[in-house]
Amino acid sequence: MLRLRPQLVPRSMWCSRALTYAVPSSAATACALVERPPCGYLTSAGSGATWVCLQVLDLQDIGHVKVLKGLIPETGGALAESLKREERKGSGAMRFHEAVGRSLADHGVSTVFGVIGDANLYMMDSFQRYAGGRYVSVSHEASAILAASGYAQVSGSLGVATVTHGPGVTNTVTALVDSVRSHTPVLLLAGDTAVTDRANLQKIAQRDLVLCTGAGFEQVRSPDTLVEDMSTAIRRALAERRPVVLNVPADLQWEEVELQDPQATYEPAETPRPDPEQLDRAVGIIAAARRPIVLAGRGATDPRAREALLDLARRIGAPVATSLRAKDLFRGEPHNLGICGTFSSPVALETITRSDCLIAFGAGLNQWTTVQGSILDGRRIVQVDIDASAINKWGTADAGVVGDAATVAETVVAWLNELDVATTGFASDGLAKELAERAREEFEDCSTEQTVDVRTAMLAIDGVFPQDRTLVCDGGRFMGSSLTRVCVQDPHAYVHTLSFGSIGLGLGTAIGASCAAPGRATLLIAGDGGFMLGGLAEFSTAVRHKLDLVVVVVNDGAYGAEHVQFRSRNMDPSLSTFTWPDLGPVATALGGLGFTVRNNGELGAALSAIASRDRPMLIDIKVDVDRVPPLFGH
End-of-domain residue from the set 65, 91, 117: 91
- Tell me, yes or no, whether 627 lies in a domain: no
Number of Cβ atoms within 10 Å of the Cβ of 241 = 16
Model confidence pLDDT, tens digit, residues 395-411: 889 999 999 999 999 99
> Residue 158's closest CA among 78, 234, 220?
234
36 and 104 inside one domain? no
Q: Count how many domains the chain has.
A: 4
- Tell me, yes or no, whether 283 lies in a domain: yes
Least confident of 137-146, 181-190, 192-201, 571-580: 192-201
pLDDT at 395: 86
What is the three-class DSSP state of 84?
A: helix
Model confidence pLDDT, tens digit, residues 207-246: 999 999 999 999 999 999 999 999 999 999 999 999 999 9
pLDDT at 49 > cutoff 70: no
End-of-domain residue from the set 423, 438, 453: 438
pLDDT at 38 > cutoff 70: no
139 and 87 inside one domain? no
pLDDT at 51: 36
56 and 102 inside one domain? no
pLDDT at 46 > cutoff 50: no
> Residue 324's closest CA among 101, 491, 128?
491
What is the three-class DSSP state of 569?
A: coil
Model confidence pLDDT, tens digit, residues 411-431: 999 999 999 999 999 999 999
Segment 561-588 mean pLDDT: 95
Give the C-alpha separation, 336 to 554, whole Å. 28
Model confidence pLDDT, tens digit, residues 456-487: 999 999 999 999 999 999 999 999 899 999 99
251 and 295 inside one domain? no
Q: How much is the pTM?
A: 0.84
pLDDT at 68: 39
- Tell me, yes or no, whether 265 lies in a domain: no
The larger pLDDT score, comparing residue 42 to residue 444, is at: 444
**DSSP H/E element including 398:** none
Strand pairing of 336-339 and 357-361?
unpaired
Q: What is the mean pLDDT of the chain?
A: 86
Tell me the percentage of the chain whose pLDDT exceeds 70. 85
358 and 417 inside one domain? yes
303 and 317 inside one domain? yes
Segment 600-621 mean pLDDT: 97
pLDDT at 37: 35
Largest CA distance in the chain: 99
Q: Residue 171 is part of which domain span?
A: 94-258
15 and 104 inside one domain? no
66 and 174 inside one domain? no
Check which CATH number belongs to the domain holding 458 and give it. Answer: 3.40.50.970
End-of-domain residue from the set 400, 420, 438: 438
176 and 59 inside one domain? no
Q: What are phi and psi of 573, to 5 degrees?
A: -90, 10
297 and 422 inside one domain? yes
Model confidence pLDDT, tens digit, residues 253-287: 999 998 777 776 677 777 878 899 999 999 999 99
pLDDT at 3 > cutoff 50: no
372 and 488 inside one domain? no
Model confidence pLDDT, tens digit, residues 72-102: 333 344 544 554 555 555 556 899 999 999 9
pLDDT at 151: 98
Check which CATH number belongs to the domain holding 390 and give it. Answer: 3.40.50.1220
- Tell me, yes or no, whether 448 lies in a domain: yes
362 and 482 inside one domain? no
Q: Are 60 and 66 in contact (CB under 8 A)?
A: no
- Tell me, yes or no, whether 499 lies in a domain: yes
- Tell me, yes or no, whether 633 lies in a domain: no
Segment 512-527 mean pLDDT: 97
pLDDT at 317 > cutoff 50: yes
pLDDT at 380: 96
- Tell me, yes or no, whether 458 lies in a domain: yes
- Tell me, yes or no, whether 547 lies in a domain: yes
